[in-house]
Structure 1
Amino acid sequence: MSLLLCGCGGRPLSEREIVRGILFTRQNENYSVCLVLANQQEEKGGTGQNKIVAAQGRTPAQALEQAEESLYGDVYYGLLDLVALPSDTDWSLAQEIGTLLYDNAQPAPELSVFLLGSQPVDSWADSADRLYNGMKSIERTYKIHCGLQQLFTQNNVCAIPAYTETGGYDYVILAQDATPLHCSGVTEAQLAAVLCGQTDRLQGSYNSGNAACTARAQVLMEDGVVQLHLRHVELKSLSPQEKPLQTVLAKELQRSFATLYEALKETGTDPFHMIFWQNVQGVSVSPSQAPTFEVVFE
């Protein structure tokens, strides 16, 4: 009985359908879901690519159920490591799919959540394996991780990295009863991810593509001042322009922080946990006053 309750009973893994990823998209009034399955025939001369199974439904739950029922073996979610939500996901849909996965799939803690890119998915057969591997590559390269539990950390907002095929990743902040806030680029998307605690890296181009940076990032708040500490910084010019690279990067980060803060203030949400840290430090800040933001190079 203990083995069954822990999910260790029943068929052996070799006879189960091992789900690695679940990709959702919206098609008109319906939802489409693709299960990315481990190819257990690889050692027997298989292609080495993941297997895929897709289905549609009026709701995400119905689409997932249809996909599960089309499989031969028992569905096993214990090794699930990635979920992709539709590109047009809002806060309520993120909560709906997140709750569905907690209730049905019960995924491992290592699971990462992404949004699909804006490019439409015409065929899962042509796209699923590429999308799954692309998002896993982004997670490894940029050290970005949004776990399933982070959809529920705050009751009116969540933030999710978004897949992009052009390099790096975008970042989307989903606030309840508000239009999703889309961020892109190192000094905006990656800054937002650092402020949300989902990465400690800045890596990519800035200054309109004329410079590149790599740095470890840590956020501290002291006396109401938000400090972005950058360590192991490597800056490189990608054009003949003679500009102080540190100064340009700091100014872009400061502008992005001000833009993000003003946009979030209109939604009444606090994905960066500013209010929490201000209360911890006993700092009284007017709601209309943006915190001071500093970039510290170490």
Structure 2
Amino acid sequence: AEVNPVVPHSSNIIAEWDFSSFLGVFNHFQVSFFLFKKFTKILYCNCIIWLLITSFCSHSFPDVTKEYIELTAFTEHNSQTGAVTRSAGRPALLISSTSWTEDEDFSVLLQALEEYEKFVEAGHKLPSLVCVITGKGPQKDYYKKLIDSKEFHHIKICTPWLEAEDYPVLLGSADLGVCLHKSSSGLDLPMKVVDMFGCCLPVCAIHFQCLHELVKHEENGLIFKDSKELSEQLKLLLSDFPSDQGKLGIFRKNLRESGQQRWDENWDHNVLPLIKEHCD
């Protein structure tokens, strides 16, 4: 261990002194057992030797359990009340999921994030971003290298693989979803958006032929055509963050009030009657 050069070790100081200088002193204070024993052997005169056990300064190490709260990037936990609240200056949590295939061009998102970074640097009142991109696939390593090459100061990107039970928890915790799925046929709908809507998470989704059947532009999300439009949408939706009074909060409110059918309800209403009809 290194010793602070400004404060020499006490034993070094003692070694340089003539112990006779301590004779005649009634009280001696020592900071270690080593010095305590040394003085009891050398100073056999009639004096009192006090042993001061080395300890930390209380003002340097305050009792955090009484005055402080536990913090994460997004939440505050008050150790006295047990309450967990969202931090006032927290970053916005952006979520996207992918199978990392050619159906999804993630350079669109990366370019949009670069533009968002420029907005923040230019002084726009916008939160920092934590962008989570989940999934596995053949192009993941390629995009991870691309992500690592970026020098963001207000954006953090991570690419985890989540267990099935963790994925809906993440969706429910996010502030905004991004979908880059472009149907190769132009006929199918992205199930990831269905998942996001199931957690009442508004979505920015890239345009393709039948997307409007699922994403209602300006109602439960926004539809974009390129990275520039996406960056402008991120700026628009997060300009009031973390207030729920802006457009993002309105989209979430619309999703909650839309009366979406759950999977089992949809099955029971549309599919089960047909099966029963043909089985009777």
Length-normalised TM-score, structure 1: 0.29
User: Relative contact order (alpha carbons < 8 A, sep ≥ 6): 1 or 2 greater?
Assistant: 2
Question: When you count strand as a share of all residues, which structure comes out higher?
Answer: 1
Q: Give TM-score scaled by structure 2 length.
A: 0.30
Larger helix share, 1 or 2: 2
